[in-house]
Structure 1
Amino acid sequence: MQITAETPFKASILPPSLFKTPSDLPALNQNASRMPWQHTIKQPITCVGVGLHTGRQMRMTLSPAPADHGIVFHRIDLPGSAPIEARYDNVICTRLSTVIANELAPEVRVATIEHLMAALHANGISNLRIDIDGPETPVLDGSAAEFDFLIQCAGVATQAAPRTVIEILRRVHVEDPNGAFAELRPARSGFALAISIDFTAPAIGHQRHAMPLTLQRFRQEVGFCRTFVERKEIEALQNMGLARGGSLHNAIVVEDDHVLNPGGLRHPKEFVRHKLMDAVGDLYLAGHAFKAGFMGHKSGHGLNNRLLRAVFASSENWRLVGNEVHSKAAIHATA
């Protein structure tokens, strides 16, 4: 199936089957049946759209992958190039997006992966092959909703392998001189996020939002929230080679106290909710889901990545739970 950038917004499509235990759940034994499982998608699916920063049209195909494979990108426009694992230590740039590259070939990169990673995180997709014919994922509508829609169309498949979760054992905190910070702290269960922003533009201002990460809450509260920019910054960004594919169709543009998009906002707190969605995507580059609480103030891609590097800098900060067999991602995390 192919979805193009012109496909209408479909955040309201919520197949009931995604909220139930899949009928094909592997019944390995009584104890295993209570454990969370790894997931992939049931069939390949393709989308076509422009890159937010490059302005180039990109074709991207999501395909099923075996257990313990992880999320891996392949630049099919560069034959023979090494695959790029979606992992925090493969992040090479965080200026206005999260960019990953193969450590052996830094020129082989994929940019603006955070919205796709957020949708994969929320849907519990552990293993996926992503073929892309350019250096940036399609921006589509500027949110994670259309990536979520792709996953719904492809279907979610449960795999006969238990999922590994990263449990945070002690508070880990990183900050910038301007007061921005991000931190992970221990939690009794699950993964919850809280974030606040503070912009001088009156149209954005100070906002905050908090929620546990579940698929339903993701779709209802943050998945549909679009990226945003101040109008006065656009020319400077384009002079830097960025935002060449941005438009009122895939980004919110504000000027002083005005939202310039004809349709306005999708939610009064769309700005902070988009930032929370970005964090959901950036933090999935840990290679596994978290048992933790995340807090951030004015945090962005750079702080989110620094936080992951700080977590894995010491084995006293974290441990793996749910699977005694270390996956490839876990081995890299301890390196």
Structure 2
Amino acid sequence: MLQRTLAQEVSATGVGLHSGERVRLTLKPAAVNSGIVFCRTDLPEQPSVRVHPNLINDTRLSSTIVTETGLRIATIEHIMSAFAGLGIDNIKVELSAPEIPIMDGSSLPFIYLLESAGIVNQEQPKKFIRILKEVTVVEKDKEVHLSPYDGFKIRLNINFDHPVINRGNQTFEIDFKNTSYLDEIARARTFGFMQEIEFMRSHNLGLGGNLNNAIVIDEGDVLNPDGLRFDDEFVRHKILDAIGDLYVIGHPIIGFFEGIKSGHAINNKLLRALLDQPDSFEYVSFEANEQVPNSFHELPKIA
């Protein structure tokens, strides 16, 4: 299986969920082995940085790159999830502001954007990270695990004592050898509670949030006129987030991720713990597609 990038560049505009700033996003093809690179075109000299777990240094309600020089690229988890879902290895992401646009609160608009640009194979094999032994991080009532599995599977549990969330399952397991990221995960939107919005905005968070880009819940119901896309959209979105958080490592993971009340901070700590234990994983490539675990599908058919 070969590395993948875009056939041509593509752009969109939107607003940052937390900053409220309008932003132009441009996605560009990139060379083999260059990885996922973010660039701030609004800053002098247009600084850029290749994504890495050690650069996720702000996890307040999102995964945000903060470098030693103060360069910020905020709320990357949804677009990273889209890159993972379509198997994008190399891409340049240009931004005219410090935050990825929230779009509709899911990864689906990014999927459409990537597909409109076209996805192409490159001349070098794709590199995977295969989990060889379990790695775990536990913090109070939260825990996350990566363990060996011949494919990519996720089981995630959330725990919200709220009547709306209690209507659907709060645990969801998905094995990508049997089902599709695009069908089951990509449409799930981020969510927030009405009573938390004032607190968030007092801390300069959630300034761009509205009913068009997030599920908003009051004491007893969903405020969005069209309701939910899935009965268990909340836990599915947490899986979307986890996929994006894990892809910060730069390669698809061959393994099983399990999270209990997981979030951006503990997901990132899991990646750092994995990298700190070199005997817990190995880098692998496959010369023939039939050698690749079934979880990693061929390029989607572009209409």
1:243 is matched with 206
- Aligned partner of 2:146 among 171, 184, 201: 184
- Aligned partner of 1:101 among 53, 66, 73: 66
Give structure 1 regions of 4+ aligned residues with deviation exceeding 3 angstroms: 213-216
C-alpha RMSD over aligned residues: 1.5
- Aligned partner of 2:9 among 39, 44, 48: 44
The residue type paired with residue 144 of structure 2 is: A
| Identity, % of aligned positions | 40
Deviations 1:193-216 (A, max 9, x none): 110111022211361111123696
2:270 is matched with 307
1:27 is matched with none
Contact kept? 1:123, 1:215, Cα under 8 Å:
no
Q: CA deviation at 1:82?
A: 3.0
Q: CA deviation at 1:190?
A: 1.7
Distance 1:60 1:214, change over 3 A: farther
- Aligned partner of 1:230 among 182, 193, 205: 193
The residue type paired with residue 271 of structure 2 is: L
Q: For the residues of structure 2 that align with 1:151 and 1:215, how far apart are their CA atoms? A: 23
1:88 is matched with 53
Q: For the residues of structure 1 that align with 2:263 and 2:197, how far apart are their CA atoms? A: 18
The residue type paired with residue 279 of structure 1 is: A
Q: CA deviation at 1:102?
A: 3.0
> Is structure 2 residue 158 aligned with structure 1 residue 218?
no
- Aligned partner of 1:201 among 156, 162, 176: 162
Between the two proteins, the alignment pairs up a number of residues equal to 285
Deviations 1:130-153 (A, max 9, x none): 110110000010000000000110
Q: For the residues of structure 2 that align with 1:232 and 1:170, how far apart are their CA atoms? A: 42
Q: For the residues of structure 1 that align with 2:9 and 2:210, how far apart are their CA atoms? A: 29
Which stretch of the first structure deviates more once superposed, 62-71 or 167-176? 167-176
Distance 1:137 1:215, change over 3 A: farther
2:249 is matched with 286
1:147 is matched with 110
SS state of the match for residue 282, structure 1?
helix
> Is structure 2 residue 29 aligned with structure 1 residue 64?
yes
Unaligned runs of 5+ in 1: 1-35, 325-335
Q: For the residues of structure 2 that align with 1:192 and 1:72, how far apart are their CA atoms? A: 26
Q: For the residues of structure 2 that align with 1:184 and 1:113, how far apart are their CA atoms? A: 21
TM-score when normalising by structure 1: 0.83
Q: For the residues of structure 2 that align with 1:77 and 1:167, how far apart are their CA atoms? A: 38
Q: CA deviation at 1:79?
A: 2.2
Q: For the residues of structure 2 that align with 1:213 and 1:119, how far apart are their CA atoms? A: 14
> Is structure 2 residue 96 aligned with structure 1 residue 133?
yes
Contact kept? 2:145, 2:258, Cα under 8 Å:
yes
TM-score when normalising by structure 2: 0.91
